[in-house]
Structure 1
Amino acid sequence: MGYFLLFEGMLDSVIYARDHYLSPGGLLLPNRCSISLLGVADLVRYGELVGFWSDVYGYRMSCLQREVVREPMVEVISEEKVVTDTCLLTQLDLYTCTIDSVDFTADFELRVTRDDTLTALSGFFDVFFDLPCHVMFTTGPHKPPTHWKQTIFFLDEPIPVKLGECLK
């Protein structure tokens, strides 16, 4: 598993091992994964990483803001910075998925949970071990941080949002 589940391209190795070494009836664990998205309101962090380039020791270097926004960041988001509900983007059954399964698009709908300013979208993943005693873990901001943290996609510009508003 890589950041946001798919970064680092490790799924290819899992599929290869499954197809070449898993015995019939064998267990593949985790056997199921999902990828989700939510909205973040963190003007302080946005200012540190994106707004910073507006005035770098008296020099306007705002042309570099585009480069910062283009690259996702991998950081821990505190739960109080989450400003929307969560939307499931996709699920992968590791027993049946193919390399092409990671090439997907997904419509999403996020319901705003309070008046605030949206600065980023953030992705995380969950993994499931479907056993008689069900086990799962999440890399979402609503649980203790993991090695994978969350993946943050900063917006070009912050967007004011209102409670109940729907973002698509």
Structure 2
Amino acid sequence: MGSSANVDAGDRTTNCDGVSVDKGVDFANYFCTYGFLYHQKKMLCDRVRMDAYFNAIFDNKEHFHGKTVLDVGTGSGILAIWSAQAGAKKVYAVEATKMSEHARELVKANNLQDVVEVIEVDVIISEWMGYFLLRESMFDSVICARDRWLKPTGVMYPSHARMWVAPIRSGLGDKNMSDYESTMNDWHGFLDETKTYYGVDMSVLTKPFCEEQRKYYLQTSLWNNLHPHQIIGTPATIKEIDCLTVSINEILNVTANFSSWITVEKTRLCGFAGWFDVHFRGSRENPARHEIELTTAPSIDNGTHWGQQVFLLHPLRVSEGDNMIVSFSMNRSKENHRLMEVELGCEMKQSSGKMVGPITKKFYIE
């Protein structure tokens, strides 16, 4: 995977929000993860991910045979290797971390080594998707590569993406509240002991400690692989992306207002889940012979390493036919543009006509 597009200014880098970020911190946040083989292994063991890319390439060899391919953020080099095996004439694999050394050895071990200077390409293939699609802001790099190198008749793999949100039931909220309360009880015990044994009153720090722990336990979205039965209402598409035409400005903010009908009789609404899917369709002028979908939706037995992002609310009793009216807004964090901040609001019109809410809560995707 490659780094996102930034404007350099000495030791600072300006992200697409126009916010100045310490370059060392920004790079460290990114490179400390993707430069290690254990993280690459985690992605390489994700069968849903691997099968989707493998099938997309080898079921559509005509898009690769004799063509020039750019793999943005190649990581281990697996997509570049598959592209070459599918008949690509030239493959340019870009990787900014030390993983490039391993990718180079892997390419050599598979007798596919070649050094090419790329000016323009027929296909850009990249696995740029982060948690809830846009975390990490990786897609910026792909868009910049597309605008600089892809031919007007070129193809993006994947070519389209969608983001989804749906109401859920879950026991995670009860556990997190219990953990938060236990942490605060432990803090108060710590205050008593520190004052008794060391003569220092640290209670002035209770408010910031409480805010810190509330953010961690109650406002940070959770990674989870949900079961389809935990979805209790109609899912809504909150963002559709055409990878061939979308601009960076169009993915800086994701906002949506939608309705979701509760489809389960007498249950608890515990929050909302977000996931995404991507599609390998080729282009309008050059469509894929076999369209492939990679989905991270709740699954019975084929969950992905992306899972779903869970946004927990105080539980509400709901019943079939109730209508959830939801507002959703997601923006990049000003402190670290690879992370996301979400504001979610909802009110419920019960089947009896009674209105409940509105409820508004801020979350962090970290």
TM-score, structure 2 normalization: 0.43
Report the counterpart of residue 169 of structure 2 in structure 1.
41
Do the aligned partners of 1:2 and 1:10 also contact (CA within 8 Å) in 2? yes
Do the aligned partners of 1:37 and 1:124 also contact (CA within 8 Å) in 2? yes
Query: For residues 56 and 91 of structure 1, what CA distance do their matches in structure 2 show?
Result: 40
Matched, 1:126 2:283: no
Query: For residues 48 and 77 of structure 1, what CA distance do their matches in structure 2 show?
Result: 16
Counterparts of 1:95-134 in structure 2, within 5 Å, are 95-102=244-251, 103-114=253-264, 115-130=266-281, 131-134=288-291
Do the aligned partners of 1:116 and 1:160 also contact (CA within 8 Å) in 2? yes
Query: For residues 187 and 311 of structure 2, what CA distance do their matches in structure 1 show?
Result: 23
Matched, 1:54 2:212: no
Q: Percent identity?
A: 27
Cα drift, residue 124 of structure 1 = 0.3
Report the counterpart of residue 294 of structure 2 in structure 1.
137
Do the aligned partners of 1:31 and 1:128 also contact (CA within 8 Å) in 2? yes
Superposed CA RMSD:
2.1
**Equivalent of 1:14, from 126, 138, 142?**
142
Q: Secondary structure at the match of 2:256?
A: coil
Report the counterpart of residue 31 of structure 1 in structure 2.
159
- Higher mean alpha-carbon deviation, 89-98 vs 100-109, is at 100-109
Do the aligned partners of 1:30 and 1:128 also contact (CA within 8 Å) in 2? yes
Cα drift, residue 11 of structure 1 = 1.2
Cα drift, residue 47 of structure 1 = 1.4
Q: 1:19 to 1:58 in 2, by over 3 A?
A: closer
Report the counterpart of residue 304 of structure 2 in structure 1.
146
Do the aligned partners of 1:54 and 1:60 also contact (CA within 8 Å) in 2? no
Question: Would you say how many aligned residue pairs link Structure 1 and Structure 2?
Answer: 166
Cα drift, residue 15 of structure 1 = 0.4
- The one-letter amino acid paired with 2:137 is G
Q: Secondary structure at the match of 2:277?
A: strand
Give CA deviations for 1:21-67 in whole Å, capped at 9, x if unaligned: 2123111110100000011101x222112233234596588x43454
Gap regions ≥5 residues in structure 1: none
Gap regions ≥5 residues in structure 2: 1-128, 189-209, 282-287, 326-366
Do the aligned partners of 1:12 and 1:99 also contact (CA within 8 Å) in 2? yes
Query: For residues 57 and 99 of structure 1, what CA distance do their matches in structure 2 show?
Result: 41
Report the counterpart of residue 83 of structure 1 in structure 2.
232
Matched, 1:70 2:219: yes
Q: Secondary structure at the match of 1:20?
A: helix
Cα drift, residue 69 of structure 1 = 2.4
Do the aligned partners of 1:50 and 1:65 also contact (CA within 8 Å) in 2? no
Report the counterpart of residue 2 of structure 1 in structure 2.
130
Cα drift, residue 118 of structure 1 = 1.0
Higher relative CO (Cα under 8 Å, sequence separation at least 6) belongs to 1
Give CA deviations for 1:107-159 in whole Å, capped at 9, x if unaligned: 0211111121111211000101111211112101046211110011111x111
Do the aligned partners of 2:180 and 2:217 also contact (CA within 8 Å) in 1? no
Q: 1:57 to 1:24 in 2, by over 3 A?
A: closer
Do the aligned partners of 2:260 and 2:323 also contact (CA within 8 Å) in 1? yes
Q: Secondary structure at the match of 1:163?
A: coil
Q: 1:28 to 1:57 in 2, by over 3 A?
A: closer
Q: Which has the higher helix share?
A: 2
Q: Secondary structure at the match of 1:85?
A: coil
Structure number, greater radius of gyration:
2
